[in-house]
Structure 1
Amino acid sequence: MADNLVSLQVKQSGHVAEVTLLGPGKGNAMGPDFWRELPVVFRELDADDTVRAIVLTGSGKHFSYGLDLPAMMGSWGELLGGALAGPRTRFLDEIRRLQDSVTAVAQCRKPVIAAVAGWCIGGGVDLISAADIRLASQDAKFSVREVKVAIVADIGSLQRLRGIIGEGHLRELAYTGKDIDAARAEKIGLVNDVYADQDAMLAAARELAADIAKNPPLVVQGTKDVLDHDLAPRVADGLRYVSAWNAAFLPSKDLGEAVQAFLERRDPEFTGE
């Protein structure tokens, strides 16, 4: 397994690997280390024949607050600052790099079970959407919040959630950026089951992963491959489209206002510019 990980911890028990988000940002926010390390970890788990199933969870009380905006915006300033083709092309490459990080989870041949406690926001929803199965504790809350910060969600939620929760629920969450609790998430099919607390949820996730790991590994992997056969090309096409759209249209006064309001801890005032 990759050495010197900063944002992730990987442990293995029997044929089950457990990947835990560590941050280092508050609430396991997804900064540069996360986006660099995630695909490395999941490609190594994919290649490891001793691993048959994976549990993906967050450290502490929360799964993830999503994209670490202050950490990421520092490197994006030049890319977002002008309308020239060079910066826009480099920003397109950056979006696709982040997309590829999450896609590494979806492409992993070993079934991935996301175990969610506390907040799961924005990029956190992108990540669990790439998992095969999602479980939650009773205190879990979910939000496709990109619209609140003047961004079209571009890392996979809009492409993958349609097949998980259906068109109407996806559009409601994506247009409003509203928060939903674990009970609503279970009702719309975002999570399979809800458990009383984080410990019970993690125990259930580990038990489910162990049940999967008892089955013939190549047959399980083949089943996942067949299930993904129609889905993967549609998701890939959607990701390419949204990355091109955001590279062209993401820079805006509203985005700057969203970031400034976030840093100043106030409500943003959007003008449609």
Structure 2
Amino acid sequence: MVLMSNFADLVSLRVEHSGPVAEVTLLGPSKGNAMGPDFWRELPLVFRELDEDPQVRAVVLTGSGRNFSYGLDLPAMTGSWGPLLSGDSLAAPRTGFLKEIRKLQDSVTALAECRKPVIAAVSGWCIGGGVDVIAAADVRLASADAKFSVREAKVAIVADLGSLQRLAGIIGEGHLRELALTGKDIDAARAERIGLVNDVYSDQEAVLAAARELAGEIAANPPLVVQGVKDVLALNSRQRVEDGLRYVSAWNAAFLPSKDLGEAVQAFVERRKPEFKGE
């Protein structure tokens, strides 16, 4: 693997290449590759650049360390929510929050719209925003220790970055509703049974090797045909996903501010179980 020089200044991601396959690795810098401002800024830059690079024919996406991602870095990301959490429900802060949600949605959509197929190799925890990101990939593989959670309901948030829109076509409505309404964790074996991942491998090294092999197999095919297949398949869900993202962003801008959300953030900081009151 060779570091791609045009991505040398990245903070939260590392981009390398081996022949026609690029490899994007989540770096954090927060614990468990939690997704802070740098990640959301860099993700669309990276995937739009890879989309335009004629030398890249497929992409492997993985996490550094033991985990794929703990998801949204709540302490780092909630600064812009301050006026809402403090009870300021006027139009200006809500409009700003709507803009912020759509900016994060666009970051994930840049991955989904990359014309080069993306294979996610998941080890350890993949929570919340991590699931949003892998749902935008074309193929998902996991190691036996992988665990997945659409965790947002447990922190008083309606998931708004793509899981609720993209996972229905991957795992079906029934499984999606169970995961999203409970916020429960599932292991790699369950993820394979419901179709969230295609295959499960013994460990992190094995799943990464399998993802690289699959990416190489895809990259050996005619690149314009591969891109055409991806574009045609996207037609099945593109409009539904776009409509769903716009709806949930407007819903959250209107209804997300709550005492329960403030309690979730405070409990996270204090490392305790939150007490929700429906307020």
Regarding TM over 0.5, the answer is yes
CA distance in 1, matches of 2:216, 2:188: 24
TM-aligned CA deviation for residue 153 of structure 1: 0.1
Asked whether the equivalents of residues 23 and 29 of structure 1 are also in contact (C-alpha less than 8 Å), the reply is yes
Partner of 2:180: 174
The runs of at least 4 aligned residues of structure 1 exceeding 4 Å deviation read none
TM-score, normalization: structure 2?
0.97
Partner of 1:37: 42
- Structure 1 residues 85-138: Cα deviation after superposition (integer angstroms, max 9, x where no partner): 111001000000000000000000000000000000000000000000000000
Partner of 2:60: 55
TM-aligned CA deviation for residue 77 of structure 1: 1.0
How does 1:260-271 map onto structure 2 within 5 Å?
Answer: 260-271=266-277
Partner of 2:200: 194
Aligned residue type for 1:32 = P
Q: How many residues align?
A: 273
What secondary structure sits across from 2:54 in the alignment?
Answer: coil
Which of 28, 31, 44 is residue 26 of structure 1 equivalent to?
Answer: 31
What secondary structure sits across from 1:24 in the alignment?
Answer: coil
How does 1:49-128 map onto structure 2 within 5 Å?
Answer: 49-81=54-86, 82-128=88-134
- Structure 1 residues 141-164: Cα deviation after superposition (integer angstroms, max 9, x where no partner): 000000000000000000000000
Determine if the alignment matches structure 1 residue 11 to structure 2 residue 11: no
What secondary structure sits across from 1:54 in the alignment?
Answer: strand
Asked whether the equivalents of residues 80 and 91 of structure 1 are also in contact (C-alpha less than 8 Å), the reply is no
TM-aligned CA deviation for residue 230 of structure 1: 2.3
* Sequence identity percentage: 80
CA distance in 1, matches of 2:80, 2:12: 18
Determine if the alignment matches structure 1 residue 226 to structure 2 residue 229: no
CA distance in 2, matches of 1:200, 1:120: 17
Which sections of structure 2, spanning at least 5 residues, go unmatched?
A: 1-5
Partner of 2:140: 134
- Structure 1 residues 14-55: Cα deviation after superposition (integer angstroms, max 9, x where no partner): 000000000000000000000000000000000000000000
Asked whether the equivalents of residues 142 and 197 of structure 2 are also in contact (C-alpha less than 8 Å), the reply is yes
Asked whether the equivalents of residues 7 and 15 of structure 2 are also in contact (C-alpha less than 8 Å), the reply is no
Partner of 2:3: none
CA distance in 1, matches of 2:68, 2:203: 13
Asked whether the equivalents of residues 147 and 153 of structure 1 are also in contact (C-alpha less than 8 Å), the reply is yes
TM-aligned CA deviation for residue 201 of structure 1: 0.4
Partner of 1:211: 217
TM-score, normalization: structure 1?
0.99
- Structure 1 residues 58-83: Cα deviation after superposition (integer angstroms, max 9, x where no partner): 00000000000001112321354411
CA distance in 2, matches of 1:48, 1:78: 41
What secondary structure sits across from 2:47 in the alignment?
Answer: helix
Which sections of structure 1, spanning at least 5 residues, go unmatched?
A: none
Q: 1:124 to 1:190 in 2, by over 3 A?
A: same
Asked whether the equivalents of residues 80 and 88 of structure 1 are also in contact (C-alpha less than 8 Å), the reply is no
What secondary structure sits across from 2:14 in the alignment?
Answer: strand
CA distance in 2, matches of 1:181, 1:52: 31
Range with greater deviation from structure 2 (260-269 or 74-83)? 74-83
CA distance in 2, matches of 1:228, 1:75: 33
TM-aligned CA deviation for residue 3 of structure 1: 4.0
What secondary structure sits across from 1:20 in the alignment?
Answer: strand
Range with greater deviation from structure 2 (80-89 or 175-184)? 80-89
